[in-house]
Amino acid sequence: MIHYKTKEEVEIMRHSCLLVGTTHAMVAALLKPGMTTMHINNITESFIRDNGGIPSFKNYGGSYPFATCISLNDTVVHGFPSAYELKDGDIISLDIGVYKNGFHGDSAYTYAIGEISPEIKQLLKVTKESLYKGIEKARAGNRVGDIAFAIQEHTERKHGYGVVRDLVGHGLGRSLHEEPQVPNYGKRGTLAKLKPGMVLAIEPMINLGVKEVYQEDDGWTIRTKDHEPSAHFEHDVLITNGPADILSSFEEIEAAEKANPNLSWSY
């Protein structure tokens, strides 16, 4: 069942979505080699709680043990924070959810620590571009398949990357995951029809190599089958009769990224 949001509910959701972006920006300003991913998790949780929110991911499904998903290099999503220390050349996807005033916000961003290869920089650039290609199709009268096709066209068909099939975007609202599912591959004119009031978390998960992935024994961590890097970017968008209203924001994140000399940002 798809839950359509009222204008009042959308404005409440916007606060949750924007808090996710502010949280990302706080982390982006601090990222550097030598920082542990567990420290990132801990400061993220503290920041969310200090700002009146609750980490959406903690105890999700009764079993996810952390406030964030931190996915390094060949980890696609759902990576566990740990004692691992970031090093030059790593890419780190940080997926953050915030629950506040009855609604969730959910946004992911992939950061490059120090200098990364041109090949990986291009992967991040194209993946981020594909998110906006999908958002361009997120408007009333279109279908979810139009979003999916736009993302696949830009990443897989134009650039030869692997589009993960096993994981998808989703509706968002009072629950972290609502209908409809929003895949990153598919046919135009298929799947659920987009109508005003729908809120979608659109999140391309794109691999440098093959599309196939596998799950580790922890029951959560998803890695690329060939161990090539993967990138992940995510926005929350409201469907309207015109262009989608992006409820989340990368503006603060990109400013913090550019100001941090420990990050590559020329994509």
* Alpha carbon distance 13, 170 (integer Å): 15
Starting at the earlier edge strand, list the strands of the sheet with 162-163: 162-163, 205-207, 230-232
pLDDT of residue 265: 79
- DSSP labels, 40-95: HHHHHHHHHHHTT-EESSTTGGGT--SSEEEEETTEEE-PPP-SPBP-TT-EEEEE
pLDDT of residue 30: 98
Write down the pTM of the prediction: 0.97
The two three-digit tokens of residue 226, written as one number = 């060939």
**Domains (ranges, CATH) in the chain?**
7-264 (3.90.230.10)
Length of the chain: 267
Provide block-wise average pLDDT over 10 residues at a time, the chain (267 residues): 97 98 98 98 98 97 95 98 98 98 98 97 98 98 98 98 98 98 98 98 98 97 98 98 97 97 84
CB atoms within 10 A of CB 129: 18
Contact 156, 185 (CB under 8 A): yes
- For residue 188, which amino acid is it? R
Contact 135, 155 (CB under 8 A): no
pLDDT of residue 96: 98
pLDDT of residue 267: 62
